[in-house]
Amino acid sequence: MSNDKVRVYSTNQPFQAEMIKRYLADHGILSFIMNKMDSSYHFGDVEILVSRDDVVRSKKLIEDFFQHE
Protein backbone atom coordinates (compact mmCIF):
# COMPACT_ATOMS: atom_id res chain seq x y z
CA MET A 1 0.00 0.00 0.00
CA SER A 2 1.29 3.44 -0.91
CA ASN A 3 2.08 6.02 1.76
CA ASP A 4 1.43 8.92 -0.61
CA LYS A 5 -1.58 10.99 0.38
CA VAL A 6 -3.76 12.61 -2.27
CA ARG A 7 -6.37 15.34 -1.84
CA VAL A 8 -9.78 14.06 -2.89
CA TYR A 9 -11.94 16.90 -1.58
CA SER A 10 -11.70 20.37 -0.13
CA THR A 11 -14.27 22.63 1.48
CA ASN A 12 -14.45 25.78 3.56
CA GLN A 13 -16.84 24.07 5.98
CA PRO A 14 -14.97 21.97 8.57
CA PHE A 15 -18.11 20.11 9.70
CA GLN A 16 -18.68 18.92 6.13
CA ALA A 17 -15.13 17.57 5.97
CA GLU A 18 -15.72 15.66 9.22
CA MET A 19 -18.94 14.15 7.85
CA ILE A 20 -17.20 13.02 4.67
CA LYS A 21 -14.28 11.61 6.65
CA ARG A 22 -16.74 9.57 8.72
CA TYR A 23 -18.59 8.42 5.57
CA LEU A 24 -15.32 7.21 4.04
CA ALA A 25 -14.43 5.42 7.30
CA ASP A 26 -17.83 3.71 7.28
CA HIS A 27 -16.82 2.32 3.88
CA GLY A 28 -13.40 1.14 5.00
CA ILE A 29 -11.28 4.06 3.77
CA LEU A 30 -8.85 5.74 6.10
CA SER A 31 -8.73 9.47 5.44
CA PHE A 32 -7.04 12.47 6.98
CA ILE A 33 -8.14 16.06 7.36
CA MET A 34 -5.68 18.86 6.74
CA ASN A 35 -7.06 22.12 8.05
CA LYS A 36 -5.62 25.01 6.05
CA MET A 37 -8.06 27.56 7.44
CA ASP A 38 -6.75 30.71 9.03
CA SER A 39 -7.70 30.53 12.70
CA SER A 40 -8.26 34.26 13.09
CA TYR A 41 -10.16 35.16 9.93
CA HIS A 42 -11.70 31.77 9.05
CA PHE A 43 -10.80 31.71 5.39
CA GLY A 44 -9.10 28.91 3.53
CA ASP A 45 -9.96 25.28 3.01
CA VAL A 46 -10.11 22.01 4.84
CA GLU A 47 -8.79 19.16 2.70
CA ILE A 48 -9.51 15.45 2.84
CA LEU A 49 -6.55 13.24 1.98
CA VAL A 50 -6.50 9.51 1.27
CA SER A 51 -3.94 6.96 0.21
CA ARG A 52 -3.19 6.99 -3.51
CA ASP A 53 -4.65 3.47 -3.66
CA ASP A 54 -8.05 4.75 -2.44
CA VAL A 55 -8.44 7.84 -4.65
CA VAL A 56 -10.87 6.49 -7.24
CA ARG A 57 -13.11 4.74 -4.71
CA SER A 58 -13.05 7.78 -2.39
CA LYS A 59 -14.12 10.17 -5.14
CA LYS A 60 -17.01 7.87 -6.05
CA LEU A 61 -18.10 7.63 -2.41
CA ILE A 62 -17.93 11.42 -2.00
CA GLU A 63 -20.08 11.81 -5.10
CA ASP A 64 -22.57 9.31 -3.61
CA PHE A 65 -22.48 11.19 -0.29
CA PHE A 66 -23.69 14.40 -1.94
CA GLN A 67 -26.37 12.63 -3.94
CA HIS A 68 -27.88 11.31 -0.70
CA GLU A 69 -27.53 14.52 1.27
Domain 5-68 has CATH 3.30.70.1530: yes
**59, 19 in Cβ contact below 8 A?**
no
pLDDT tens across 4-62, in order?
Answer: 999 999 999 999 999 999 999 999 999 999 998 877 777 889 999 999 999 999 999 99
Question: How far apart, in whole angstroms, are the C-alpha atoms of residue 58 and residue 5?
Answer: 12
Torsion of CA 11, 16, 21, 23, to 10 degrees: -130
Candidates 28, 40, 34; CA nearest to 7 is: 34
Q: What is the pLDDT of residue 3?
A: 64
Amino acid at 41: Y
